Structure formats: structure tokens, C-alpha cells
């Protein structure tokens, strides 16, 4: 079985398992989506949502966070990991959005990735979930699953993204990256399946006998 066949198997199972998919991070607009994705680094979506549900009703524009200042932002997000670093990024990117983009989130990867605290993965999520632009955000979980399913060699997340984009139709990307994340959380967990027991792993590699050790991102 080659990688194209494995990709078809994975897509079929994912579509059957998750015919409808929702965005895990709660947001009020594209700006708050950007903030939530930034906050989600090294933090669960549940924790981010629990914190932001008390922030976004009142603060949801770059102007709001500029006025708050870094110290007050820190107090609002102190229950989230590395909150001081994130507060600094949120304040700086809010100022830059006002100064360079009229208070609006830019619609290109290049402009997004120039913002403080925004890397390629964060930009991809905003482009995909915020603007509906075909993108394939790859986090550590997708990186791990792509290896287990034989869709990428796992050298790094950049290569994994290229491999997945090559194997799956562009029309599926925005929904598919969320389907993979949900499937990984429910059926192909980091410390559970090990490439042996879930439906996708057992279908793609029916003769695999030993746990697969994946490369870290």
C-alpha cells in the first residue's frame, strides 16, 4: 500500500467519523481568533476558551488591548502558560495592527507572520478559519499522526505540511486539519494507539506489530 492509498483510507474514515466539524477555539471575530490561536501555544483549547470567555465580551478589538497595556493583559490571561510572553505579543501586535493595518487583521501569510508572536501555524489557522483561505495548519499532533499513518517521513512540520498538501485535495484542507486533530484526541492519542489499534492505523498498516516511534516536531 502506498501513501496515496493510505491518504484515501484516512480521508474516508475521517469524513465518516466527523461529517461536520466545529472550530475548537471560541472567538468573537477574526482578531479574537488570532488572539486565541496565539494563546493556545503550549495550552489546551479548553483552557484558552475558559479564559477568553471572560475577556471577549468586553475586549475584542486591537484598540481595547492597546488601551489595557501589557500588565493588565497579563492579569487577564494569567491562568494560561507563559502568559507574560503572550501578553507582550498581544499588546505589541495590537499596536502594530492599529499603526499599519487600520486596526484590521491582514489577509496574507506574509503580513500575519510579521506580527509579534505569530508564526506560520498561527497564520495558517487564521487564514483557514478566519478568512476561508485554503491552508493546512500543522501542529505537533498532526505531525505525529501523519507519521503513524504513513503520510509523511516526519523530518519536520514544514515537510509534513508539504506532504499533506500534496496528498489531499485543496478543497478538503480547511476541514481536514480539524478532523485530524479531533481524531487524534479521541482515537489515536499520543500515549495510547502507538500506530497499532485505531481504525486508521490498523487499516493503513494491518501487519504492523510493534509500536511506531514518531519523530518530534
CA dist., res. 104 & res. 102, Å (int): 6
Question: Catalytic residue among 107, 139, 207, 209, which?
Answer: 139
User: Is 45 considered catalytic here?
Assistant: no
Cα distances (Å, whole numbers) of residue 158 to 9, 70, 140: 23, 32, 11
User: Is 121 considered catalytic here?
Assistant: yes
Q: Which of 27, 35, 30 is nearest to 94 (CA)?
A: 35
CA dist., res. 5 & res. 150, Å (int): 10
CA dist., res. 15 & res. 118, Å (int): 30
Question: Catalytic residue among 121, 170, 171, 207, which?
Answer: 121
Work out the burial of residue 216: count CB atoms within 10 Å of its CB; fewer than 13 is exposed, 13-18 middle, 19 or more buried.
exposed
Distance of CA 67 to the CA centre of its chain: 28
Q: What contacts 48, CB < 8 A, 6 or more positions away? A: 25, 36, 39, 40, 80
* Unique residue bearing C-alpha cell 475521517: 14
Active site residues: 121, 139
Amino acid at each position: 500500500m502506498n501513501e496515496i492509498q493510505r491518504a484515501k483510507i484516512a480521508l474516508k474514515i475521517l469524513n465518516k467519523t466527523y461529517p461536520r466539524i466545529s472550530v475548537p477555539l471560541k472567538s468573537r471575530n477574526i482578531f479574537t481568533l488570532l488572539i486565541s490561536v496565539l494563546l493556545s501555544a503550549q495550552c489546551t483549547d479548553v483552557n484558552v476558551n475558559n479564559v477568553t470567555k471572560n475577556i471577549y465580551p468586553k475586549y475584542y478589538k486591537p484598540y481595547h488591548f492597546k488601551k489595557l497595556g501589557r500588565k493588565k493583559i497579563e492579569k487577564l490571561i494569567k491562568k494560561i502558560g507563559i502568559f507574560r510572553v503572550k501578553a507582550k505579543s498581544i499588546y505589541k501586535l495590537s499596536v502594530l495592527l492599529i499603526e499599519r493595518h487600520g486596526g484590521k487583521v491582514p489577509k496574507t501569510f506574509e503580513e500575519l507572520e510579521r506580527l509579534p508572536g505569530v508564526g506560520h501555524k498561527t497564520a495558517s489557522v487564521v487564514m483557514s478559519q478566519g478568512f476561508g483561505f485554503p491552508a493546512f495548519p500543522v501542529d505537533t499532533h498532526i505531525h505525529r499522526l501523519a507519521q503513524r499513518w504513513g503520510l509523511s517521513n516526519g523530518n519536520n512540520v514544514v515537510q509534513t505540511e508539504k506532504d499533506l498538501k500534496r496528498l489531499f485535495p485543496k478543497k478538503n484542507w480547511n476541514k481536514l486539519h480539524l478532523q485530524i486533530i479531533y481524531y487524534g484526541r479521541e482515537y489515536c492519542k499520543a500515549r495510547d494507539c502507538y500506530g497499532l489499534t485505531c481504525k486508521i492505523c490498523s487499516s493503513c498498516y494491518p501487519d504492523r506489530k510493534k509500536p511506531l516511534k514518531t519523530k518530534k516536531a
